[in-house]
Amino acid sequence: MKAALMSKSLSDLSSWMTCWLALTVWTLGAAGCGTAPQRLVSPPGSAGGSPLVTEVNNALTAAALHTAPASADYRLGPEDLLQITLYNVPEGEAGVTPRRTVVRVSQEGKISLPLLGDIEVAGLTTAGLEQLLRGRYDQYLHDPQVGVLVQEYRGQPVTVMGAVRNPGVYQLTSPKTLIDLLSLAGGISERAGSQVHVYRQGPEGRQSYIIDLVMLASNPAAVNMPVEAGDVINVQQAGMFFVDGAVARSGSYALNRPYTLTQALASAGGVNRELADYSGVTIYRHRNGGESEAIPVDLSAIWEGKASDPRIEADDVIVVPISTAKYIVRRFFGTIGLGGAPAYSAF
């Protein structure tokens, strides 16, 4: 008798839950909601810091600390204060050797020395000036030994612009490299792309150098370069992509390297396994003429290897919709059947 009553009670409860669930689905459908409102579950906040940007900035900082000043490549210019030493010449009647002369480079890029008169030094390295002076002094001295030391470096403007944290004009008062200037500018920002461009006005006109940021950070000895007065350093901005819906962090993200769809979703913290409709993901892509194309994607098929993982382009909008069935289960019955797995996952 008790068993019969219990069986009837369970049957009645099952029938009631079925009717209630059907009524709930009908109510959502009557309200015009094919899926539950995303605003109920989309977590607030913007995109977090890009791991790539953090990695590059940390490497740039470390490289700047271990990079020796490029004094051998420093180019002399106006307002530099030079100490010129003739090692094999006595200093007057005192017989002190070597003889030292301190002279400042004029605005015209020249210095004036006894015996030699005016000498054009702008654009020369210290080694180049030493060689020039040895040739000039050779007519007065036997085997002249000349040393040049920069006591004070002049102010040299270098412009750092683009996707850096502190863009502006920086004055060089000592030899600096590209890594040094990027570090002075606070490192690259979250919108940085993968390249930095250096523009330089040389004797043959404007020259451009394109350097990969990841290569600069990982192998500075190969691609780092000394900075010269008048250089313009421009860290290129990356395109952006946008992620919305059932993901951990809706927002905009820098396309600072090639991304596939699953990598882009991982940047947004992954999809919400309890709510996401894997088969209804859509990539909205702008085409020429302002038209927008909707590209449907089945995440389950990608994860199972049955479909290719599409490449993300600049200005793509990725929408991960909320599954109505999952929403109802989550809303009215709580988390079930997930075995304690995290709600947000990139996989």
Residue 120 lies in a domain: yes
Residue 305: CB partners within 8 Å, gap ≥ 6? none
Instruction: Specify the number of domains making up the chain.
Output: 3
In tens, the pLDDT along 217-253 reads 888 888 999 998 899 999 998 888 999 999 999 998 8
Residue 182: what pLDDT? 94
**Which CATH number does the domain housing residue 264 bear?**
3.10.560.10
Residue 11 has pLDDT above 90, yes or no: no
User: Per the domain annotation, does 316 fall within a domain?
Assistant: yes
User: Residue 36: which pLDDT band, with cuts at 50, 70 and 90?
Assistant: very low
Residue 305's Cα: distance from chain center in Å? 31
| Percent of the chain predicted with pLDDT > 90 | 41
Same domain flag for 89 and 168: no
pLDDT tens by residue, 294-322: 999 999 999 999 999 999 998 899 999 99
> Residue 43 — very low, low, confident or very high, per pLDDT cuts 50/70/90?
very low
Same domain, 212 and 260: no
Q: Which of 103, 130, 152 is the last residue of a domain?
A: 152
What residues form DSSP beta bridges with 154? none
Q: Is residue 340 part of a domain?
A: yes
One domain for residues 277 and 341: yes
Q: Who wins on pLDDT, 88 or 5? A: 88
62 assigned to some structural domain: no
- Spell out the long-range contacts of 62-71 with Cβ–Cβ below 8 A and sequence spacing 24 or more: 63/179, 63/216, 63/217, 63/220, 63/224, 64/179, 64/180, 64/182, 64/183, 67/177, 67/179, 67/180, 67/220, 67/224, 69/174, 69/175, 69/176, 70/175, 70/176, 70/177, 70/226, 71/126, 71/150, 71/175
Q: Which of 68-82, 115-129, 153-167 has the lowest mean pLDDT?
A: 68-82
Q: In which domain, by residue range, is 182 found?
A: 67-71+155-237
Summarize pLDDT for 142-177 with one digit per residue, the tens. 889 999 998 887 767 899 999 999 999 998 877 789
Model pLDDT, residue 94: 46
Q: Is 286 a domain residue?
A: yes
245 in a structural domain = yes
In a domain, 18, yes or no: no
Q: Is residue 188 a part of any domain in this protein?
A: yes
